[in-house]
Chains A and B, each alone.
Chain A
Amino acid sequence: DAGITQSPRYKITETGRQVTLMCHQTWSHSYMFWYRQDLGHGLRLIYYSAAADITDKGEVPDGYVVSRSKTENFPLTLESATRSQTSVYFCASSESGFYGYTFGSGTRLTVV
């Protein structure tokens, strides 16, 4: 199916563990993004990528790592999860970025 898919939909992990959130898009969009959404803060950009092997930091990158070896995949890794990283994570893609993004359905992550 065409679109952008995130996995898993729900994840519970323990403090200190490494966890990877997956994002896959089928349009071959150049741009991909990771956002986190928290009450009182709205959507905040973690990392983005303009093309394969090109990534850059967003507003809140600390504690996260990304890679983009293939255009269609953009995984987000929490190297050592903390409770403050409990959030809903959204991946998005865009061909040009100038008229908006298409979002995935989100991953709800709880760090205990």
Chain B
Amino acid sequence: QKEVEQDPGPLSVPEGAIVSLNCTYSNSAFQYFMWYRQYSRKGPELLMYTYSSGNKEDGRFTAQVDKSSKYISLFIRDSQPSDSATYLCAMSGLQGAQKLVFGQGTRLTINP
């Protein structure tokens, strides 16, 4: 079993829809939770970062962490065609960088 599980999709939704992307994990030591966005033939770029449990909002994006369920989510409101990309969750424990583990990535398409 992988430490981080993410449904690879693909996921296709109409423009303006609310998108929910999720990851589950098994390592209870994870404390740092991140979401990366990766456009085709580009490197991943950091989208959201959360430490421990709770919610974080940035514009149309909201990241949620539920450590009791070992479950993290990324919500995209008022989705736009420019949001079409692969979204990767990533997480690490207190040892930091060298323990960053990525999910497989979910491929998202927003249809105009």
- Bound together: yes
Describe A's contact surface by its main secondary structure: strand
Interface contact A98-B97, CB-CB below 8 Å: yes
- Interface footprint category on B: 20 to 34
Chain B 67-99 interface residues, beta-carbon cutoff 8 Å to A: 88, 90, 92, 96-98
In the assembled complex, how far is the CB of residue A54 from the closest CB belonging to chain B, in whole angstroms?
11
Interface contact A106-B49, CB-CB below 8 Å: no
| Complex contacts, B96 vs chain A, CB 8 Å | 96-98
CA distance A81 to B76 in the complex (A): 41
Interface hit among A12-20, A37-45, A61-69, A70-78: A37-45
Flag B42-53 by CB within 8 Å of A: 1 or 0 each: 111110010100
The residue that B100 contacts in the complex, of A41, A90, A101, A105, with Cβ under 8 A, is A101
The residue that B97 contacts in the complex, of A40, A42, A94, with Cβ under 8 A, is A94
Interface contact A50-B90, CB-CB below 8 Å: no
Flag B10-27 by CB within 8 Å of A: 1 or 0 each: 000000000000000000
In the assembled complex, how far is the CB of residue B29 from the closest CB belonging to chain A, in whole angstroms?
14
CA distance A107 to B8 in the complex (A): 22
Interface contact B92-A97, CB-CB below 8 Å: yes
Interface contact B97-A43, CB-CB below 8 Å: no
Known: A50-B98, A96-B96, A96-B97. A105 touches B49 (CB 8 A): no
Known: A41-B104, A42-B105. A103 touches B44 (CB 8 A): yes
Most central of B88, B100, B102 by chain A CB within 10 Å: B100
Besides A92-B43, A99-B34, 15 more A-B contacts (Cβ < 8 Å) are: A31-B98, A33-B97, A40-B8, A42-B105, A43-B44, A43-B88, A43-B105, A45-B98, A48-B97, A48-B98, A50-B98, A58-B98, A101-B46, A105-B42, A106-B41
Which B residues are closer than 8 A to A by beta carbons?
6, 8, 32, 34, 36, 41-46, 49, 51, 88, 90, 92, 96-98, 100, 102-105
